[in-house]
Structure 1
Amino acid sequence: MSASERSSSLTHLARLGFTSLSDADALLTEVEASTGVPRNAMTSGAQLAADADEALSALARIARRDADAVRRLHADEQGWRALWALLGASTGFADFFHRNPAELSELAGAGVTLPSSVELRDTLLDAVSAEDGFAADGGEAAWVALRVRYRRMLARIAAFDLLSASPVDHVPSVAARLADAAAAALEASLAVARTRVSGGAAGAGLFPRDQVARAKLAIIGMGKAGARELNYVSDVDVIFVAGTDEGAAEELSESRVVDIATRLAVQTMRGISGIEIEPPLWEVDANLRPEGKQGALVRTLDSHLAYYERWAKSWEFQALLKARAIAGDLTLGEAYVAAVQPKVWTSAARESFVDSVQRMRERVTEHIPAAEVAHQIKLGPGGIRDIEFTVQLLQLVHGLSDDRIRQRGTLEALDALVAEGYIGRNEASAFARDYRVLRLLEHRVQLRNLRRTHLMPSRPEELRVLARATGLAETGDGVWELWESVKREVRDIHVRLFYRPLLSAVAALPAEERALSAEQAHDRLAAIGFADPAGALRHIAALTSGLRRKAAIQRHLMPVMIRWFAEGVDPDYGLLAFRRLSERLGDTPWFLRMLRDSSAAAESLTRVLSGSRYIGELMEWIPESAAWLDDDELLRPRTGIALQQEARAIQARHGSLEDAMRSVRALRRRELLRTAMAAVIGTITIEEVADALTTITDVTIQATLRAVRPTIVPPEDADLDFSVIGMGRFGGRELGFGSDADVMYVYRANSVDPQRAHELAVKLVAALRTHSEDHRVPLDLDADLRPEGRNGPIARSLDAYAEYYRRWSLSWEAQALLRARGVAGSVKLIGSFMELADQVRYPATVDQQGLREIKRIKARVESERLPQGADPARHLKLGPGSLSDVEWLVQLLQLEHAHEVEGMRTTSTLVALKAAQQAGVIAAVPAARLTDAWRLASRLRSANTLLSAQTSDILPVDRKRLDGIGRLLGYPPRSATQVEEDYLGTTRRARRVFEKLFYG
């Protein structure tokens, strides 16, 4: 061969996938010489080899031993393709064919189809029954024949796998055939064992032949073998069950049967795993039996059941989920499976079952050697076990009451879980895809040496071979990157689903609540707290009837959610509101996914709906708010800056005043709802509630003023300044749910005619009040705290305010200014008004006559402003020791001391009280009692509104309503009396402080 011809030949070899070109050239020359097959014809299948160099080296070794076998196979094109694929992917098969070159002929036609389960069984049984040395050598020859025949069939399965266009799609069918092959091997080995144990081998018989024939042994496949998901080389987990025919029971004692069956089991295992000329197939692992390695290898069916009834741990039932009779007496085996299934599917009801399964998965991960964690395909984070444990836990928990998800196989179970709504389609699709990828990687690394391993290779050349063998990537780096991305995705889904709190809630449901007749359901609903069980049943039926996925998911959620509703304040309203919310959201996928995947969100939803009509009514109009319950950050009140930016964007988008104000009202409702939900869930304090409600009101007034001003004030009068001043609790940033917004209106004419300016200001006030109205969540802009009250002008100029306060101001008006705060409009005008207010509310000298007048007015308010017939002790605003007592006392202290104590110059009641304490104006204990009373009264007032969606300042007498208010404040159920006693005691102590300091 010339130099150019040799160079061309080597280039051709490189294109076929060879890397050691000179060695390959030499080996091809050698094989061509020994077999007579031309080298070009010989390499026709080389491109199919994951490792062409290894395949050719193996081919040369086989040819040295039996060149004729190689030559004959080359005549079969499909068989030749299969040989290259097998030798290139597996040194294990290379060694097998080197030991048994005659087996090459069996590859003819291989790779087109998979052998059937019947063919596998018949072929392996034929191998042991046809072996001439069966009886002469104690069965060893039969076992060798079995192993050779098994590997022949394994080669056919592998050839189909390796030659398929998309091996990842064939993972389920390949794994099923591998399980069928294992079952057939056990059946064949058991046939040999029966001969050995019954005296078929000279001098080896231990039991009479007729007794062995009557003794039954069923082999139960567990784990992957039971689920028909087996690997190429994997331990085959089994359980052995002994029994006899009914007619033989009198002749054979139970102990005798167990002795025979134990000997059969031992010999069966030896036939598969013992040391012989042909290497073992795989390990037969019986350690999942009762008591594990310490327990009897073989038990009768009754003995098994007695153990599972009394002693079995949760993990043992999880292991039994995939149990299947695979060999031996199938009738006995199926009886075993049928008997244990009810125990499997009720195991999740055991105490702490979910926690035990979760902990077991964690222990598996913890015991992986540190050096292997990053390479573990099966056991590591993001590996096969994460998928299997997740699917099994979902099955076991929901399979308590749903037999449609009781599948053995992982992929079949995933399909069922999706169909029945227990897992989302996207998550299940990702899990199924990733499971196939992981299993394909596992198959290929095991094929490499036909050895049990679950580790990704680390060497670049091994990764390159793996990439070619799987077809998942073009390079070693590519297959590693794919593996890493799959791990991340699997781990993310596993953590979300496996630790889904709803699983524990479902598993903890009492058995009587998982499936009830209509009559039983009616009685049960009444018993757990529903006042209208018939109405509740109608709502449940409306939510769960039908065949759509939405109804299926609701059916799964209902038992748990009904219990949560029943634990709420008003279960009937909560369920009604949930039905309305569900109908508004329709088939919105995120809603049901959130409820199914986040029990915290689901439980929070039942809590807010059954605890607050205020929330329920708003959620019906803002159903997307349910998503906030799945993220505490979304429940946090938004900042004033964020709300201002959104409000300005709204006005920029909408051309008309009505459209803009409709969106502003929607913004206000949404933020009120967010704050209400956070308050009921308990993620914000009463001070944060007050601040959030004030901010929302500020933004609403600001946005309304920006919207109406252009329609009222023409360009030629643009020099008019106009501002809104917050007063009362609004000015103090202390609003509660249902509070009015006390305001005053001020303007400055500047260059505008004074009369014209006044007219425009009054029109602005009217427009503000008109366009801020909201029939769903009223916003009352109350201007009664203005000078002269209702008798005074609705708006005044800054100069008019200055003149009034200089000449005619009354003590209560100075007191009212203590809460004055600029809210909206001209910033300069607000600044000027605040300077004026400071002169009035923080006087350098105290007007004692004015203070006496304030005390007189307070006494008159207590006697005149209380609603007729109301119990003063229960009035949250005007009652003794309630809000007004604390606020009036603090305001009195401010009038007296704020000029000297800068910290008291604030519109906030509690901030001023704290500053007074720090300055020594009031002692710590009285300040604490006042603070406690103010906080409790504020919380009760807001809770009263949240509960009923109606504003009321009266602490209810009705025990159910009082209990509901208490629940919103965090009291346990049936705490109406405690709520009442706490309030009356707290206000009584605060009243004593008030009387001593205010009137004393």
Structure 2
Amino acid sequence: MSLPSLIAQPAELHALVDHARQTFQSRLDEAGQRDLAAWPPARHAALERVLAASDFVAEQAARDAQMLLELAASGELERSLAAGELRGQLEQALAGCASEDDLARSLRRYRNRQQARIIWRDVNRLADLAETCRDLSELADASIDQAYHWLYARQCAQSGTPIGARSGEPQHLVVLGMGKLGAFELNLSSDIDLIFAYPEGGETTGARRSLDNQEFFTRLGQKLIKALDAVTADGFVFRVDMRLRPYGSSGPLVYSFNAMEQYYQDQGRDWERYAMIKARVVAGDQASGAQLQQMLRPFVYRRYLDFSAIEALRTMKQLIQQEVRRKGMTENIKLGAGGIREVEFIAQAFQLIHGGRDLSLQQRPLLKVLATLAGQGYLPTPVVDELTAGYRFLRYLEHALQAIADRQTQMLPDGELERARVAFIMGFPGWNALLDRLAYWRGRVDFHFRQVIADPEDEAGANLAGVGDEWLPLWQNALEADAAQHQLVEAGFADGAAAWQRIEGLQHSSSVRAMQRLSRERLDAFMPRLLAAMVAHGNPDLLLERLLPLVEAVARRSAYLVLLSENPGALERLLTLCAASPWVAEQIARFPLLLDELLNEGRLYSPPGKAELTAELRERLTRIPEDDLEQQMEALRHFKLAHGLRVAASEIAGSLPLMKVSDYLTWLAEAILEQVLQLGWRQVAQRHGYPRRADGSVASEPDFIIVGYGKVGGIELGHSSDLDLVFVHSGDQQTETDGAKPIDSAQFYTRLGQRIIHLLTAQTASGALYEVDMRLRPSGVSGLLASSLAAFERYQESEAWTWEHQALVRARKLAGSDAVATQFEQIRARVLGRERDGAALRAEVGEMRAKMRDNLGSKSTLGGTAPEAFDAAATFNLKHDAGGIVDIEFMVQYAVLAWSRQYPELLRFTDNIRILEGLEQAGLIASSDVRLLQEAYKAYRAAAHRLALQKQAGSVGGDHFHEERRGVMRIWRELGLA
């Protein structure tokens, strides 16, 4: 929504404005002021408008006409304040305060001045919603902080300085601003929710009688509240609400950090998590405040998917609705249906559920959270656009209601004059037109709120009510075994006895027996619904077999059961994926956090491209402190698991063909390796400093590359593929690092390689990232972990076997220095493109292939070479048997080694499909044979992928792929490799 329109002043407000203007003018006349006559017409029009809108501004102008003139003369009515300007003005205003009465007076007069300026700019549409809220919040921050420091100095003079018993350091209060203040979203007449804390216990020193730190800060807190909240002849600064502190009004006014942490850990309630989302240090000790918020973060944001939070928010909303009805507040635009609070609940539901893992949601301002929900795919963009526009409208209306009398209200007025004023401020020709627009936005907000928060069993979700009720007796053991088995068979289970045995096995499992009451209630609500969904989906026997391990795995983290109960679409997608693939079912059972991916169908079936993958992972890691290795490793693993599932889901759904599946899985590995390299580089450099180059310069970025061989080098990764890696660097053994514990540069890069392997292979709660195979490095397992470019070239030129040169055909840089990669490519080109004896090459390649076939091929058919290899009773190993994948790979590698000296363009690509295209373009292999090899290769790999998703070995019946196998074997012979 844009700013509300400026409209002509309605006739019913003329008398009001005339009276207010005459009063203002008479005060100017009494003071002998003539400045008003010099005002430009636009400022006079703005004055008329603000006097029509706000009794508060009219009263301030009548009380202190000079104040309004000074604001006009300074230009502050027409311009935004610069950063820090407000705080600087208040500091000047408080400079001469000699007593607490002086402090109170100066704070209030400055507040009234700023309030008049802010209302003037808001009513005249010189400031948008963001500026108005920001100015109000900065006014609160400055008032609290400067009042605190003024009072602290005098309290120390009187009672001594509070000292920490453990640290021996002076202690300061930490003032947490909650709610709208914490999020820089204060409204025109908002109270401020505060919590007071101090770092540690101890007592004051420097006074005749020492005070306990608790007592010192309690007295200080009481004075601070009085300085801000007490109503005097000059009004008040801000109404202060302390009820959000631990134990509410019955608890102590201030808490030590340890007491705060203990309370939230032991007794913190769901609504307190909700409140703490927006907590911000607004005054006092900012550094210690940051430590406190870090201590409390695990309470607010759970590391696991926390879908149970939605139940707490729903309960809170129901309590609010009861209060609204009891007090007749349906016209309340904050608490009523479709009001401001519902937009806040929507945003904070996603923050509480997902914020522990998605750090982009750990922010305070509501509009930024909404934008993140759209950007990260949690909510469709059109929904977020409506919520944003509706929220802006409601907040502008809230400000219009409050601008009139500086009164904290969100209730629609019932008097004709006030209605006319509100409609005028909002830019509507009359009250009914405003009501129509308000009804539209409240309807849209309430609709979206019900989609997110509404109980699946209530009227809004009536289509789900009663789902699975027919399975309640069976699950609750109210049936005899025979009756239970009969019901299962009647519903569509092929083997009722086996199904009942599995269900009983779950009920009697140690995980279920150990469940607490709330978790057991959730399981009892979920299982009947799951059984009904399995029957409706089809093939319930298979689904029961694959899904019960997942149910058992999440039994003690029952928030996942709530997720599936709350989201029928997610449950349906889970059934579809698990029915299609036991591999997917096993992944989700091992890592239930993947259930989060099922919530958004569009995102699940639309994996991002390479650039988006890289940017998303980089952004995710930048939100984690550099020294939090555990969280970095978990973030990497969750990223891999989540995107791997999205690729598998897309493959199952048929939206990604085989070649794209491998592309995405390879891009995923590259994005992860790039970040792992950066993490490893930082960690080794912190210990040893940065390597020096031969010219004496310091390498601020790694002169190092991760080279991929095999499937990752050939852009052919599968879902469970390991990574064949080689590390190459340009470090100089004669130079040392520049740190406190220097080592030579070659040793530095070896340690970097060790660190990378650790980051990739370490087992955490989310498993390992990848299995890594380093045996293709120079000299294999006995060689150095990281080779210099010179050593790599020497080995390839003088020691490497032909099969190692074959492997080099598929080698390419995955991550690291572009400069080192360029030199590596030059070495690769020289090695692969050197002059070779054609007959000797054919013999070596053929011999190596025969050994592999003998060792790894189907024994019963002599590796697919026996005549019976084509019988239905035989098996065909897609990879290793004659005519299979390895034959094609060996032919491509042979061709590159044999002909790249004359045709260097063959070295451009590392994947078999494009190398085959190069062979065709060079006229080295007939087009028909290239098509045959490409199609056979893709068909074999597609079959292997399907088998992998079914957790089956890579073999099919001997009656499969006859034409492809015979064609591959023919071309093998024609190349002279047999």
Q: TM-score range by the shorter chain?
A: 0.3 to 0.5
Point out which structure has higher relative CO (alpha carbons under 8 A, 6+ apart).
Answer: 2
Q: TM-score, normalised by structure 1?
A: 0.45
Greater Rg, structure 1 or structure 2? 1
Q: TM-score, normalised by structure 2?
A: 0.46
Looking at secondary structure, tell me which structure has more helix per residue: 1
